[in-house]
């Protein structure tokens, strides 16, 4: 098409959009125009009779009133004037039988008998379906985060890509700022730390990326300074606080510097096709997982509708807008964008529109996160419904029921948790593909993928304890009884298992680094220092595990040994101070080892594809442990509501209202995780390995065509 | 070793940082500084150490070299933990972790694994990879202490507390249940029973001495008045403020009835947060309040005036009245339970017994039948100062050991409480 035609067409489209906006604006923003009444406009779209009935109750001067309401209205008027007429009116109203309007027919006589899910029981059936749904959902939320990072790293920096990187950087700035901000809020107790982090990092990323686009501020050091200044300036303006403290300013400066630094580093990163290939391969798996998310979500909902029908209908009706409009809209949009993202990969690469594809990826992530936040509303409502309870459906709005005390903490926790999940799942995929590949080049590539998966997984795992901490802190503030049920009562042993699992995760991650470093030239110079770190890890894990008492409840119950309690002078070992110190030590040692690992990769030659064969199995072990831990924490969160579906609002009166024992839960969670991994193994084979095998048989071709030159 | 000065400087800087961290988080700053500086020094030395490629060993050789080291560590841990008073289960835990550490180091030093020769090899290794954590997690969850779900179910199926139709002991039992179900034990011990010392031990503090109104106020509006020793920022925020909404009137009354039983007839109340505790004998404010009671100026004990007989300045006003100024004065012989103990050595329970039960055939009435014991303990604390003034004391009276379950049973059987309910 000639350029002039293109510009004419663009101009016409633009005018058309402008006209549509104008009409829309007139219809909605000009109440003075009689024809533009939104209600009359909407009435034409919906069931008019029903709307008319409701309107009559409010507007007395409506002409077409129903007979019944006529009668009532007249009777009211007559009451004050003539007694006889009033009596007649009342009698007429009494005589008239309007039950036909509400009679639902024979169904009202039929009482459905409860059904118990064979073999498992209703609770476990619901538990299993919900857990599987969350695991697949985490995959389709966590992996796109990973994929976009990889896609950006793999895209050649064309004009279009650089435009898209501005958006990607801002998105990255928001996420990074929130994470660092929360840590500042928790550790240094900075009021509104999250907001300082968010605004500073996001604006630093925006401004620096924008300057970078015009080839200004290309040095990372300068960008950090510019980011720090600009970010702090915006944070200072936007955070609603009377007095800004020094720690808050330092936090803003730090976030701004990080935002500026990362933006420039990403904007001018050397593109590597390996990243592109990795992102594309993972995307194929995401497509499969999306179907399984929907499938398990449906299963979960159907089981709930049979097993807990009263509760699910109460919960859904508590969120009419969310469940009728918000959730379906987001879900449909995400489906559309996801499939466009998956299937437009190669076409957009071929037409040199990589930037648009990256934008799609960011939009997909934004939609996914919105979906996550939307559904966290009902999830946290079940745990911490806003008080006072008698105002839940009177003065409180649907938004109040979404934005509960633990809503944002759970959003943060799941956001970071999904990042970890994404990283470790990529690790699992890489391990499978490494084991299934025979070609040395393929092995090299998947060895590198494992390295990247572990890198992202560990990177997100480091702030994860802080996110968990802020979530539990809010629970304590809402109702300490729930917190105590988790930390000191029936779930205390569950938490002990959590400590053990986290210790195992960090240990496995460090072993993977150790094993990986053995194939790097000259890396063994770090080994003696790393061994010191490993000793610290064992000590930290021991402290994290040390309980106040070795019985499973707050006070010993019949059959328990009451002497299994730490004496008072040693009790400090079981307190949060010690646990936090242990967590800090675990995180710090892992970080130090990672620094050693990174220095080794930069200063020594890496023999990709020559990793100790133990490496891929460690990656699978870590993936399994991470997902087991995630399922375990979900179990803890659900059980912490005790015998309530919605804490103190909707009681669970079924026979399964008690907390299952630790042993029973352990076996069940293992079963759920096995199911997930069996399905995932099939998906990885179907999504990545099988097409490759087919392709290998026909001809050698790369999985995704490299991006064309501009 | 050329780099040693550099390492020392970095370690010192980290130490200063550690001190700041310790100060900020109230976590023993010198220890924090020392630990961080020491670790930095160790890291520095290890990084500059002459390095050799790692020695890889086969599985059995690996075990053979590590078992002696771990055995020594395990023995040290076992006896060290025992020496510091860790119960046996913790000794087992520490030794178990030394074994876990050994497994960790065995993996690190293990010979590089041989590549898979066939698909069967891969499958086997893959299965082991999944089976290993599964077996591990199932075993851990099965071996850790368990609870019986039936017990919780039975508790959940109990009807809610309704006071009408319940007798005294049943109300107290219902109150204890409320105390338990609201997880009060998490922060408050009741004598020997309970979970931590975040809040006052309501048994040794003897919350039962206080009025019902005061106890209710402490439950419903806990920020209004902090218990002595719990004025720090963290403690001020610790007690939830929602019990007014959560507890019904009946539940609150039952809870207060239970709390009213928390008294110790053998010891004076204890204040403060463990381990910085003190008894009322050394509590300046209590002594001031005790003076008011002793001199008959306390409105809540109208009609009680110790100074009338014992003298406002300790000089007895009445013949035969006990002279609190003389530390060598012996216990009265007019009572059947007379104990030949000098005043300076009187145990708490003797003070309490003489004041609450009185002395036969003397004007010393059983004041415990007439006035709240809260004030009587305060007056006793003040009376002691006549022979043992507060400003002359070189050290505080020792905090008595927490009464055991058996001792509390004994108080009941021996009728040490005046209240027949207890």
Instruction: Tell me the mean pLDDT in the region A450-458.
Output: 90
Annotate A146-155 with b (16+ C-beta within 10 A) or e (fewer). Answer: bbbbbbbbbb
Contact A621 B42 (CB under 8 A): no
Six-digit token string for A228:
């720090």
Higher pLDDT: A571 or B42? It is: B42
> B381 and B326, same structural domain?
yes
Q: Give the CATH number, domain containing residue B190.
A: 1.10.760.10
- How confident is the model over A412-421, as a mean pLDDT? 91
Query: What digits encode the pLDDT tens for the residues B42-59?
Result: 999 888 877 777 778 888
When pLDDT is averaged across residues A430-440 and rounded to a whole number, the result is 91
- Within this chain, do residues B233 and B303 fall inside the same structural domain, yes or no? no
User: Rounded to the nearest 5°, which phi and psi values hold at A644?
Assistant: -125, 135
Distance CA A395, CA A398 (A): 10
Specify the range with the lowest mean pLDDT, choosing from A68-77, A114-123, A479-488, B8-17.
A68-77
Q: How far is CA B261 from CA A121, A273, B194, B412, in A?
A: 44, 75, 16, 11
Position A320 pLDDT exceeds 60: yes
Task: Using the structure block, give the residue that is written with the tokens 């242990």.
Answer: A582
Neighboring chain B residues of A526 at a CB cutoff of 8 Å: 47
- A542:B49 CB<8 A: no
Q: Is residue B29 part of a domain?
A: yes
Residue located via tokens 């133990």: A614
Q: Are residues B240 and B193 in the same domain?
A: yes
Within a domain: B341: yes
Residue B163 inside a domain? The answer is: no
Report pLDDT digits (tens) over A321-373.
Answer: 999 999 999 999 999 999 999 999 999 998 889 999 999 999 999 999 999 99
For residues B111-139, average pLDDT: 91
Interchain proximity B151–A557, CB inside 8 Å: yes
Average pLDDT, chain B: 88
Mean pLDDT value across chain A = 85
Among residues B218, B237, B267, which one ends one of the domains?
B267
Q: Which domain holds residue B299?
A: 278-399
Gap from A246 CA to chain B (nearest CA, Å): 15
Which residues of chain B does A566 touch, with a Cβ-Cβ cutoff of 8 Å? 86-87, 90
> Above pLDDT 70, what percent of chain A?
85
What one-character DSSP code corresponds to residue A570? G
pLDDT per residue over A229-239, tens digit each?
999 999 999 98
Residue of A261, A274, A269, A179 whose CA lies nearest to A225: A261
Q: Which of B211, B244, B267 is the last residue of a domain?
A: B267
| Interface confidence (ipTM) of the complex | 0.82
pLDDT category, A52, cuts 50, 70, 90? very low
B67 lies in some domain: yes
Q: Is the pLDDT of residue A676 over 90?
A: yes
* Interface contact flag, B146 A555, Cβ < 8 Å: no
As for how many domains chain B has, the answer is 4
Could you tell me if B287 and B317 lie in one domain? yes
> What is the phi/psi pair of residue A227, to 5°?
-60, -45
Residue B131 lies in a domain: no
Contacts with B, A 171-230, CB within 8 Å: 188
* Pairwise CA distance, residues A475 & A16, whole Å: 52
B185 and B260 together in one domain: yes
Are A516 and B82 in contact by the 8 Å Cβ rule? The answer is no
- Closest residue in A to B100 (Cα) is A538
Q: Which residue has the tokens 């118990």?
A: A116
Digit-coded pLDDT (tens) for A248-268: 999 999 999 999 999 999 999
Q: Are residues B303 and B384 in the same domain?
A: yes
Q: Which of A525, A554, A624 sits opposite B195 (nearest CB)?
A: A554
Residues 464-493 on A with a CB inside 8 Å of B are 479-481, 484-485, 487-490, 493
Residue B357 lies in a domain: yes
> A535 and chain B: CB distance < 8 Å anywhere?
yes
Q: Does residue B153 sit within a domain?
A: no
Domain match, B363 and B309 both? yes
B238 and B349 fall within a common domain = no
Question: Which residues from A are below 8 Å from B140, CB to CB?
Answer: 497, 500, 666
Taking only the tens place, the pLDDT of each residue in A341-350 is 999 999 999 8
- List the beta bridge partners of residue B330: B342
Q: What is the 3-state secondary structure of chain B? A: CCCHHHHHHHHHHHHHHHHHHHHHCCCCHHHHHHHHHHHHHHHHHHHHCCCCCCCCECHHHHHHHHHHHHHHHHHHHHHHHHHCCCCHHHHHHHHHHHHHHHHHHHHHHECCCCCCCCHHHHHHHHHHHHHHHHHHHHHHHHHCCCCCHHHHHHHHCCCCCCCCCCCHHHHHHHHHHHHHHCCHHHCCCECCECCCCCCCCCCCCCHHHCCHHHHHHHHHCCCCCCCCCCCCHHHHHHCCCCHHHHCCHHHHHHHHHHHCCCCCCCCCCEEEECCEEEEHHHCHHHHHHHHHHHCCCCHHHCCCCCHHHHCCCCCCCCCCCCCCCCCCCECCCCCCCCCCCEHHHCCHHHHHHHHHHCCCCCCCCCHHHCCCHHHHHHHHHHHHCCCCCHHHCCCCCCCCCCCCHHHHHHHHHCCCCCCCCC
8 Å CB contact of B180 and A550: no
Residue B141 has pLDDT above 50, yes or no: yes
3-class DSSP state of A110 = coil
**Same structural domain for residues B82 and B180?**
no
- The answer to whether position B329 is within a domain reads yes
Q: Give the per-residue pLDDT at A77.
A: 44
Residue among B78, B86, B13 at smallest CA distance from B44: B13
Q: Do A621 and B153 touch (CB under 8 A)?
A: no
CB neighbour list of residue A25: distance below 8 Å, 6 or more residues apart: none
Residues A674, B134: C-beta atoms closer than 8 Å: yes
pLDDT mean over A171-178:
93
- Same domain? For B224 and B332 the reply is no
pTM to 2 decimal places: 0.81
Residues B288, B242 within the same domain: no
Q: What is the DSSP letter of A112?
A: P
Looking at residue B245, what is its pLDDT? 83
A612 reaches B (C-beta below 8 A) = yes
Boundary residue ending a domain (B207, B241, B267): B267
Tell me which chain A residue has its CA closest to the CA of residue B237: A477
Q: Report whether pLDDT(A1) > 90.
A: no
Residue in the structure block whose two tokens are 């395990």: B74
Query: Are both B253 and B287 inside the same structural domain?
Result: no
Range of weakest confidence among A165-169, A636-640, B358-362:
B358-362
Asked if B145 lies within 8 A of A560 by C-beta distance, the reply is yes
Average pLDDT for B213-238: 89
């Amino acid at each position: 098409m000639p350029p002039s035609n293109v510009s004419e067409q663009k101009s016409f489209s633009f005018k058309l959009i402008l006209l549509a906006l104008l009409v829309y604006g007139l219809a909605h923003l000009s109440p003075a125009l009689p024809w533009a009444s939104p209600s009359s406009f909407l009435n034409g779209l919906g069931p008019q009779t029903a709307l008319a009935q409701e309107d009559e109750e409010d507007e007395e001067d409506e002409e077409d009133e129903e007979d019944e309401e006529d009668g009532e209205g007249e009777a009211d008027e007559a009451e004050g004037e003539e007694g006889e007429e009033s009596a007649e009116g009342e009698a007429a109203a009494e005589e008239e039988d309007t039950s036909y309007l509400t009679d639902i027919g024979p169904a009202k006589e039929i009482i459905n008998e409860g059904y118990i899910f064979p073999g498992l029981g209703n609770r476990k059936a619901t538990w299993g379906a919900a857990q599987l749904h969350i695991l697949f959902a985490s995959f389709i939320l966590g992996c796109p985060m990973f994929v976009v990072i990889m896609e950006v790293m793999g895209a050649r920096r064309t004009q279009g890509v650089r435009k898209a990187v501005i958006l990607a950087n801002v998105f990255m700035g928001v996420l990074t700022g929130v994470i660092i901000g929360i840590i500042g809020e928790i550790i240094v107790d900075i009021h509104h730390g999250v907001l300082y982090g968010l605004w500073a990092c996001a604006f630093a990323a925006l401004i620096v990326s924008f300057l970078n686009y015009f080839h200004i501020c290309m040095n990372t050091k300068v960008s950090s300074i510019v980011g720090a200044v600009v970010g702090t300036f915006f944070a200072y303006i936007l955070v609603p606080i009377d007095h800004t403290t020094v720690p808050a300013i330092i936090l803003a400066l730090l976030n701004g510097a990080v935002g500026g630094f990362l933006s420039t580093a990403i904007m001018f990163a050397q593109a590597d096709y390996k990243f592109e290939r990795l992102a594309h391969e993972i995307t194929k798996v995401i497509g499969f997982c999306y179907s399984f998310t929907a499938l398990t979500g449906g299963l979960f909902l159907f089981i709930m509708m049979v097993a807990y029908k009263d509760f699910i209908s109460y919960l859904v009706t508590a969120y009419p807008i969310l469940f009728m409009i918000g959730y379906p809209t987001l879900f449909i949009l995400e489906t559309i964008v996801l499939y466009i993202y998956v299937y437009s990969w190669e076409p957009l690469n071929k037409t040199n529109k990589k930037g648009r594809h990256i934008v799609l990826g960011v939009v997909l992530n934004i939609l996914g996160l919105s979906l996550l936040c939307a559904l966290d509303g009902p999830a946290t409502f079940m745990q911490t419904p806003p008080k006072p309870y008698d105002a839940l459906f009177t003065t409180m709005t649907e938004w109040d029921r979404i934005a509960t005390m633990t809503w944002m903490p759970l959003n943060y926790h799941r956001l970071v948790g999904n990042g970890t999940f994404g990283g470790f799942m990529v690790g699992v995929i890489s391990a499978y593909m490494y084991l299934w590949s025979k070609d040395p080049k393929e092995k090299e590539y998947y060895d590198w993928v494992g390295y990247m998966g572990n890198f992202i997984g560990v990177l997100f795992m480091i702030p994860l304890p802080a996110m968990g901490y802020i979530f539990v802190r809010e629970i304590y503030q809402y109702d300490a009884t729930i917190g105590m049920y988790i930390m000191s009562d029936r779930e205390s042993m569950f938490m002990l298992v959590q400590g053990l699992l986290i210790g195992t995760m960090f240990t496995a991650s460090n072993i993977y680094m150790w094993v990986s470093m053995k194939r790097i030239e000259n890396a063994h110079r770090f080994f003696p220092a790393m061994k010191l770190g490993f000793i610290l890890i064992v000590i930290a894990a021991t402290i994290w595990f040390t309980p106040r008492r070795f019985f499973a409840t707050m006070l010993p119950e019949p059959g328990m040994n009451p002497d299994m309690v730490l004496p008072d002078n040693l009790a400090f070992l079981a307190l949060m101070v010690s646990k936090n110190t242990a967590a800090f030590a675990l995180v710090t040692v892992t970080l130090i080892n990672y620094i050693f690992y990174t220095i080794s990769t930069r200063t020594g030659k890496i023999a990709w594809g020559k990793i100790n064969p133990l490496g891929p199995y460690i990656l699978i072990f870590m993936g399994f442990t991470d997902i087991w831990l995630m399922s375990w924490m979900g179990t803890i969160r659900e059980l912490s509501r005790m015998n309530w579906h919605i804490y103190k609002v909707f009681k669970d009166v079924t026979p399964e209202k008690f907390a299952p024992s630790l042993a029973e839960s352990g076996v069940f969670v293992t079963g759920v995780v096995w199911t997930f991994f069996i399905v995932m193994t099939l998906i990885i084979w179907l999504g990545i390995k099988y097409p490759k095998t087919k392709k290998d048989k026909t001809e050698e071709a790369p999985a995704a065509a490299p991006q064309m030159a501009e | 070793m050329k780099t040693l000065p550099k390492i020392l400087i970095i370690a010192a800087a980290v130490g200063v940082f550690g001190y700041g961290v310790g100060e900020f988080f109230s976590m023993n700053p010198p220890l924090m500084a020392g630990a961080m500086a020491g670790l930095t020094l160790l890291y520095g030395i290890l990084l500059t150490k002459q390095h050799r490629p790692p020695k890889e060993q086969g599985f059995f050789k690996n075990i053979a070299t590590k078992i002696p080291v771990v055995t020594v560590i395990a023995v040290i841990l076992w006896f060290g933990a025992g020496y510091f008073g860790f119960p046996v289960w913790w000794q087992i835990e520490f030794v178990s972790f030394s074994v876990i550490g050994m497994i960790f180091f065995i993996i690190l030093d293990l010979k590089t694994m041989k590549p898979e020769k066939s698909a069967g090899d891969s499958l086997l290794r893959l299965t082991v990879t999944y089976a290993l954590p599964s077996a591990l997690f199932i075993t851990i969850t099965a071996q850790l202490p368990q609870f019986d779900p039936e017990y919780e179910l039975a508790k959940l199926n109990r009807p809610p507390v309704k006071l009408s139709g319940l007798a005294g002991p049943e109300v107290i039992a219902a109150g204890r249940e409320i105390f338990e179900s609201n997880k009060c034990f998490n922060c408050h011990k009741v004598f020997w029973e309970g979970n931590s010392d975040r809040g006052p031990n309501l048994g040794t503090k003897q919350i039962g001495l206080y009025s019902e109104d005061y106890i209710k106020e402490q439950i419903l509006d806990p920020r209004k008045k902090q218990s002595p020793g719990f004025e720090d920022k963290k403690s001020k925020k610790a007690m939830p403020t929602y019990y007014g909404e959560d507890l019904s009137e009946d539940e609150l009354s039952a809870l207060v009835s239970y709390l009213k039983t928390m008294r110790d007839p053998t010891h004076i109340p204890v204040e403060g947060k463990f381990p910085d505790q003190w008894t009322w004998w050394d509590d300046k404010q209590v002594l001031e309040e005790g003076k008011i009671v002793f001199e008959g100026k306390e409105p809540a004990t109208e009609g009680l005036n110790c100074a009338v007989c014992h003298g406002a300045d300790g000089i007895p006003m009445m013949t035969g009245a006990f002279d609190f100024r003389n530390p060598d004065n012996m216990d009265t012989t007019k009572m059947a339970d007379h104990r030949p103990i000098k005043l300076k050595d009187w145990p708490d329970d003797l003070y309490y017994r003489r004041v609450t039960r009185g002395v036969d055939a003397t004007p010393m009435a059983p004041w415990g039948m007439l006035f709240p014991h809260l004030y009587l303990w305060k007056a006793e604390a003040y009376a002691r100062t006549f022979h043992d003034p507060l400003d002359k004391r070189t050290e505080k009276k020792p905090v008595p050991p927490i009464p055991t379950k058996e001792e509390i049973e004994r108080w009941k059987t021996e009728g040490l409480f005046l209240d027949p309910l207890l």
